């Protein structure tokens, strides 16, 4: 048997590492002694080495089952760079040509290849099995072993065939490795691989250097993300979104804001994807916006932040993805955006699936929601989820610990819940128990005659919004247990039974609210309040300027533009142009004094301008507007223009108003003179010169009803264009 000193020497020799990480050495010893081995180690813990090193030291070839082709290639390259032998490792997958497969087989037969990575679907091929039966296998490694279980976050049906195939190829020790496994997943893995007696090596899943935060997802999410990235300029980060569409959109918005970002998802060509990966590794890119397709096996040790734009479908997934931050032990900020609305969307996506799968999916989702909404230490919740007790009250490295909420007494509420669970014979889920304590006679409850039990409705007087946090926090505190194998039924623990006999104090923190507005389609990310003081000053300024110039004040800036200025505090001409209704022309002509006023106001009141983080939206410069302006330059009749653009005349007028109000000059006199009497034109024009307001209804009234809306609007467009531009 290999001595410890010898193992360490080999580690140094092949990998250049001075010592083993965590349990690596004990794991390798166990495997080399011929035992089945189960390894639970967080992402970045160094799982690969647990099979790579022994494969080099043992007789024969090790078979590594691994789910992703990209990941295999990456690892094969690493292995082959370790020695002079260029074919120490090989992979077999569907991307290989016949000749390449032949070469792999030759190298294995000659004994040069110590490690063969196989995709599960290649492993099940008849010719692969036939070939492997003829060679000496040192051991089987099953990486990302959670793929075996439909309770994991990445179920792959082919993983279920691994044991039967091993039986056919020939027996050898099995090592299963994963970074995520709840109790349920762990027992699934062992059962499916037939390694019930495997020795288990379990590292703590705690990643003390990772900071966890959950933010409500609001309409200014893009802005928040841009602000965050700017504050962390030059650092590498990954942003996960659930849909490819979102990935593309967000990457584009980031790029428009001078952030070196690129999209990554399975729909992109493989050449583009590997280029993006390389760019990220070489730091030509700072940020990758990705679906979960990105990251498995990408070994960039200094990813400094992982942002979840959408709440992930499971905590396993979340933990795996956040685990990609700070692998080197340095900073790793993990920020997830969460809105209850998103959950509903995710549930909807599941609707087409088989009922059993939906049920699992929904339970996993609920765990994620509970995590997001809770005010309990996030680390503690995560570790509890993975079956590990976090021994401290405050981790000092999550939002909930850094900004603790006030605790409230919930001993009575807990007692009511525990009694309910007992009276319901521990046979129901959380939602049912909550309906029961609230005294809601749902069809389900009535059909079980539970509304006739004495403890039905025992919690009617308690604050209704406490029930979820009470139950979730009772689970963490160990009074209740969720039986995951059994549809998540709530069970009493020994501590729970003791509490029933002798109730004590039980403190909880209330959940945070996440039912705010998040509207996918909202395109103005600025949702901030108007500064009434500034607004009043801006209006005064506009008035005095109008008087001085002898023009109506609305010609200078519209009311709505002033409101926006008083909201986003622009202080440069460029920023001013981002205000609705302000174009280049207007900004230059009238903007100066307004900008000065705003800047002074900000200084005087120490206002942190949201304008500094004002987000440039992706140029959606309306092609329609451009067409209209070009057509008017060619002096086409307005009704023809409207028709050619498939819009009504009114709609065209709307567009024209938007154009001139934002300060772009268009000359429609040729058209007006063609369709209206000169006298009428002058009449309306004069009215606007003298009027206090450009309001259409007022104009109609003041002009004595002699003109149609259309006529008035046409002249007003001409007037604004001439006056303001």
Which residues bind to ligand ADP, rule: CB under 6 A? 17, 20-21, 24, 41, 43-49, 179, 299, 301
Instruction: Return d(Cα 552, Cα 545) in angstroms, integer.
Output: 9
| Shortest separation between residue 271's beta carbon and ligand ADP, angstroms | 24
Nearest to ligand ADP of 46, 173 (CB atom): 46
To the nearest whole angstrom, how small is the minimum distance from the Cβ of residue 11 to ligand ADP?
6
Angle of helix 315-322 relative to helix 355-373, nearest 10 degrees, comes to 60
Residue placing its CB nearer to Mg ion in the complex, 290 or 598:
290
Nearest to 210 by CA among 300, 298, 371, 319: 319
90 binds, among Mg ion, ligand ADP, none (CB under 5 to 8 A by kind): none
How near is the Cβ of 46 to ligand ADP at its closest, in Å? 3
Q: Which of Mg ion, ligand ADP, none is residue 21 near (CB under 5 to 8 Å by kind)?
A: ligand ADP
328-349 burial by CB neighbour count: b if 16+ within 10 A, else e?
A: eeebbbbbbbbbbebbeebeee
CB of 48 to Mg ion, least distance (A): 5
Q: State in Å, rounded, how far the first CA of the chain is from the last one.
A: 88
When CB distances are held under 5 to 8 angstroms depending on the partner's kind, the choice from ligand ADP, Mg ion, none that residue 43 binds is ligand ADP
Closer by beta carbon to ligand ADP, 41 or else 242: 41
Strand, coil or helix: 106 = helix
**Partner in contact with 304, chosen from Mg ion, ligand ADP, none, beta carbon below 5 to 8 Å by kind:** none
* Minimum CB distance to ligand ADP smaller for 4 or for 622: 4
- How far is residue 393 CA from its own chain's centroid? 28
> Between 44 and 263, whose beta carbon lies closer to ligand ADP?
44
Whose Cβ is closer to Mg ion: residue 152's or residue 581's? 152
Q: Residue 49 or 376: which CB sits closer to ligand ADP? A: 49
Phi-psi region of 421 (alpha: psi -120 to 50; beta: other; left: phi over 0): alpha
> SS3 string of 497-566?
HHHHHCCCCCEEECCCCCCCCCCCCCCCCCCCCCCHHHHHHHHHHHHHHHHHHCCCHHHHCCHHHHHHHH
CB of 24 to ligand ADP, least distance (A): 6
Select from Mg ion, ligand ADP, none the partner in contact with residue 581, using the beta carbon and a kind-dependent cut-off of 5 to 8 Å. Answer: none
In whole angstroms, what is the distance from residue 270 CA to residue 277 CA? 10
Q: What minimum distance in Å lies between the beta carbon of 169 and Mg ion? A: 23
Total of chain residues touching Mg ion, rule CB under 5 A = 1
- With CB under 5 to 8 Å by kind, the binding choice for 17 among Mg ion, ligand ADP, none is ligand ADP
Judged by CB under 5 A, the chain residues 44 through 83 that form the site for Mg ion are: 47
Q: What token pair was written down for 260?
A: 């070196």
Binding part of the chain for Mg ion, among 41-49, 106-114, 329-337, 651-659 by CB under 5 A, reads 41-49
Residue 516, contacted partner among Mg ion, ligand ADP, none, CB below 5-8 A by kind: none
Residue pair 195/176 in contact (Cβ under 8 Å)? The answer is yes
Report the SS3 class of residue 167.
Answer: helix
As measured in angstroms, the least distance from the Cβ of 523 to ligand ADP is 39
* Min CB(23)–ligand ADP separation in Å: 11
Q: Which two tokens stand for residue 61?
A: 């070839």
Beta strands 61-65 and 115-118, pairing class: parallel
Residue showing tokens 């647990």: 50
Nearer to ligand ADP, 17 or 685 (CB): 17
Q: Which residues bind Mg ion (CB under 5 A)?
A: 47
């Amino acid at each position: 048997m290999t001595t410890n000193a010898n193992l360490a020497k080999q580690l140094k020799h092949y990998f250049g590492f001075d010592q083993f990480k965590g349990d690596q050495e004990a794991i390798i010893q166990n495997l080399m002694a011929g035992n089945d081995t189960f390894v639970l180690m967080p992402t970045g813990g160094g799982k690969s080495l647990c099979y790579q090193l022994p494969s080099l030291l043992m007789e024969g070839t090790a078979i590594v089952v691994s789910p992703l082709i990209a990941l295999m290639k990456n690892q094969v390259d690493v292995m082959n760079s370790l020695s002079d032998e260029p074919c120490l490792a090989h992979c077999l997958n569907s991307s290989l040509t016949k000749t390449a497969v032949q070469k792999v087989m030759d190298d294995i037969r000659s004994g040069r290849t110590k490690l063969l990575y196989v995709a599960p679907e290649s492993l099940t091929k008849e010719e692969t099995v036939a070939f492997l039966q003829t060679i000496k296998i040192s051991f089987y490694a099953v990486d990302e072993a959670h793929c075996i279980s439909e309770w994991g976050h990445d179920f792959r049906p082919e993983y279920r065939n691994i044991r039967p195939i091993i039986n056919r190829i020939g027996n050898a020790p099995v090592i299963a490795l994963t970074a995520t496994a709840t109790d349920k997943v762990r027992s699934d893995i062992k059962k499916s691989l037939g390694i019930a007696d495997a020795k288990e090596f379990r590292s703590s899943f705690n990643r003390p250097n990772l900071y966890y935060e959950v933010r409500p997802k609001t309409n200014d999410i893009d802005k928040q993300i841009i602000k965050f990235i700017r504050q962390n300029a030059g650092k590498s980060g990954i942003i996960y979104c659930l849909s490819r569409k979102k990935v593309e959109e967000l990457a584009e918005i980031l790029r428009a804001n001078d952030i070196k970002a690129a999209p990554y998802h399975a729909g992109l060509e493989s050449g583009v994807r590997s280029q993006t990966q390389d760019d990220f590794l070489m730091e030509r890119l700072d940020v990758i916006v990705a679906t979960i397709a990105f990251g498995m096996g990408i070994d960039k040790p200094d990813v400094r932040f992982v942002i979840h734009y959408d709440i992930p479908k499971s905590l396993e997934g979340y933990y795996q993805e956040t685990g990609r931050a700070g692998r080197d032990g340095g900073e790793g900020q993990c920020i997830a955006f969460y809105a209850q609305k998103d959950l509903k969307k995710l549930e909807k996506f599941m609707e087409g699936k088989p009922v059993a799968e939906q049920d699992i999916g929904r339970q996993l989702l609920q765990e994620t929601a509970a995590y997001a909404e809770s005010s309990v230490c996030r680390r503690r919740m995560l570790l509890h989820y993975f079956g590990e007790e976090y021994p401290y009250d405050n981790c000092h490295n999550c939002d909930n610990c850094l900004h603790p909420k006030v605790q409230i007494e919930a001993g009575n509420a807990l007692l009511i819940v525990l009694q309910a669970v007992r009276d319901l014979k521990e046979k129901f889920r959380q939602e049912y128990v909550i309906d029961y304590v609230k005294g809601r006679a749902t069809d389900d409850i009535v059909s079980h005659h539970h509304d006739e039990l004495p403890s039905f409705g025992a919690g009617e007087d308690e604050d209704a919004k406490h029930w979820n946090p009470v139950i979730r926090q009772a689970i963490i505190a160990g009074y209740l247990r969720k039986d995951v194998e059994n549809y998540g039924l709530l069970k009493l623990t020994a501590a729970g039974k003791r509490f029933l006999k002798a109730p004590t104090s039980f403190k909880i923190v209330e959940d945070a609210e996440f039912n705010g507005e998040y509207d996918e389609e909202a395109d103005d990310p600025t949702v901030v309040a108007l500064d009434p003081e500034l607004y009043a000053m801006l209006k005064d300024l506009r008035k005095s300027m109008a008087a001085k110039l002898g023009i109506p004040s609305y010609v200078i800036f519209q009311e709505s533009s002033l409101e926006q200025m008083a909201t986003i505090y622009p202080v440069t001409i460029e920023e001013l142009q981002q205000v609705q209704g302000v174009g280049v022309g207007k900004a230059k002509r009238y903007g100066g004094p307004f900008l000065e006023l705003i800047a002074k106001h900000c200084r005087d009141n120490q206002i942190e301008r949201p304008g500094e983080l004002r987000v440039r939206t992706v140029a959606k410069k309306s092609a329609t507007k451009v067409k209209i302006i070009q057509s008017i330059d060619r002096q086409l009749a307005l009704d023809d223009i409207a028709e050619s653009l498939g819009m009504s005349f009114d709609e065209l007028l709307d567009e024209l108003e938007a154009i001139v109000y934002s300060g772009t000059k268009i000359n429609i006199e040729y058209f007006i003179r063609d369709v209206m009497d000169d006298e009428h034109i002058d009449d309306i024009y004069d009215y606007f010169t003298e009027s206090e307001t450009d309001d259409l209804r007022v104009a109609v009234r003041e002009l004595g009803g002699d003109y149609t809306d259309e006529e008035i609007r046409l002249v007003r467009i001409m007037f604004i264009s001439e006056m303001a531009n």
